[in-house]
Amino acid sequence: MNEDKMETIELAVREQAQELTKISQEISSVTESLNLLRHEVTSFSEKLKKQNVTVNTDTRAIESKLDGALLNMNHMIERALNKMRTNVWQLYFQMNGPKWTVVLLVVLTFLFLAYNLWSNFISLKK
């Protein structure tokens, strides 16, 4: 029984050793690739430092689109503000408040004015 255990342990150790050698080879290839990439990047950055690049761009199309977008935003804001400016009476009638109070006030005002007008008319006749 000890021999079977020893054989399985030896087999497991061999497999682990093989996996470790594969991993170490992969790590070394990755480090070589990184070093090569680092060398390429440094050489490219040195080439860029040596070159003088001037770019002339025409931004009129982008500016016109931005101006149009800003105008649209201004119109949207103005429309929103105009919608917010409603009349006090419109607000009252849009609410679910008692509308009979307004009607009563209007009728009483009309009757008061009619009474004042009628009394002035009668006093002028006398």
pTM of the predicted model as reported, rounded to 2 decimal places: 0.36
Q: What is the reported pLDDT for 113? A: 94
- Give 81-92 pLDDT, tens digit per residue: 766 665 666 666
First-to-last CA distance in the chain?
Answer: 142
- φ, ψ of residue 24 to 5 degrees: the values are -65, -35
- State the Rg of the chain over Cα: 46
